[in-house]
Amino acid sequence: MENFWLKLKKPILALAPMCGVTDLPFRTICHNLGADVVYTEMIMVQALSRKGKQVMDLAKISDQERPVVLQLGGNDPELFYKAAKVGAEEIQPDGLDINFGCPAKKVAGHGSGAALLRDLEKSYQIVQAVIEGAGGLPVSLKTRTQIKSSDKAKVHYSWELLDKIKDLPVSAVMVHGRSFEAPWVEEVDYEYIKSMRNHFKGILLANGGINSSEKAKEVLELTNADGLGIGHGVYGCPWIFKQIKEYLKTGKYKDLSWPQRRKIALEHAQLAFEIKGEHGLIELRKQLLWYVKGLPNATDYREKLVRLNNLAEIKKAFMEIEG
Ligand SMILES: Cc1cc2nc3c(=O)[nH]c(=O)nc-3n(C[C@H](O)[C@H](O)[C@H](O)COP(=O)(O)O)c2cc1C
């Protein structure tokens, strides 16, 4: 099976996985606007291994967004194996990713996500299990800088995980340069991300705080990474991928006019409706608000946008907005 990671042109610009944000419509929009690879939100292995309708719907992918990576979360190697097999055989993404970074209480509190960094033996078994279940699909990891032990006496660094899995064929690692203990601080430790080069031979993606073309260039220079993972920076701005590419090539980029932004927002709404029906439009409300952020009178628009129920209402409301 072909390893898509090896065919991507560097620097690789990835849409980072985000629960409740990187669903199929949004991933497709980001793909169309220059993302080289898109990640699904984290799918829990307990659910995926049981193949319930809800999780299979959540994990659904489409040919229009490829290459797409399905991210798995959990803490049981056997369930990771089963979920990787279901993922590879039934969801059929281009790659599988393992979440070693989530700090959320309901995830890390149960020994998954970032908490796995405290148990390298189990983490090794999980990576091994996913590789076995993946049936040849490339496997990647996503992690952050560190987590302390439960009694706070010891620091577990993510480079220790990379050293541990050195003999396993892992294609890529996305490193979020913040710790478990300070998950949303302004400052991102790009030096740490750079140091991961000494621990991993595959593709290294830097993640954290990349919200403009200028910042993207700066982070690539600071980390020497093969690419970037972008999270918050895509909120209301899925064209950031195109802009970054233009900036890296020419040193300039064009800002989009309101009519251009509106066109993309409406395409997004159309896709959300086609893929998920009216329910998709309700889910989309928060993203519609992101599209108008920064416009004059944005607060007035926001009040209106949270009440929209169907495609016609969304179109009408957006056409009435002046940039
Ligand atoms: C709403 C939200 C949901 C997220 N969900 C996931 C997830 O499912 N899996 C994961 O590995 N990271 C998740 N993250 C973390 C992001 O992938 C990324 O590492 C983080 O936002 C830092 O990047 P940024 O500064 O570009 O936003 C999430 C972040 C946000 C804001």
Residue 74 has pLDDT above 90, yes or no: yes
Residue 134, classed as helix, strand or coil, is coil
pTM of the full structure: 0.98
Please tell me the residue having the least CA distance from ligand 1 atom 26: 231
Residues acting as catalytic residues: 102
> Token match 């279901």: residue?
86
Question: How many angstroms separate the alpha carbon of residue 143 from the centre of ligand 1?
Answer: 10
Which pair of tokens denotes residue 203?
């593709």
Residue 323 has pLDDT above 80, yes or no: no
Please tell me the residue having the least CA distance from ligand 1 atom 10: 17
Q: Where are the domains of the chain?
A: 4-250, 258-320
Atom in ligand 1 nearest the alpha carbon of residue 211: 26
pLDDT at 303: 87
Domain 4-250, CATH class in plain words: alpha beta
Q: Which tens digits make up the pLDDT trace of 77-118? A: 999 999 999 999 999 999 999 999 999 999 999 999 999 999
Please tell me the residue having the least CA distance from ligand 1 atom 2: 18
Segment 291-311 shows an average pLDDT of 90
Of the given ranges (10-24, 113-127, 284-298), which has the lowest mean pLDDT?
284-298
pLDDT at 186: 86
pLDDT at 10: 98
Which distant-in-sequence residues (6+ apart) come within 8 Å of 127 by Cβ?
Answer: 98, 139, 141, 165, 168, 170
Q: What's the pLDDT band for 206 if we cut at 50, 70, 90?
A: very high
Distances (CA, A) of 56 to 43, 53, 82, 90, 197: 9, 5, 14, 9, 36
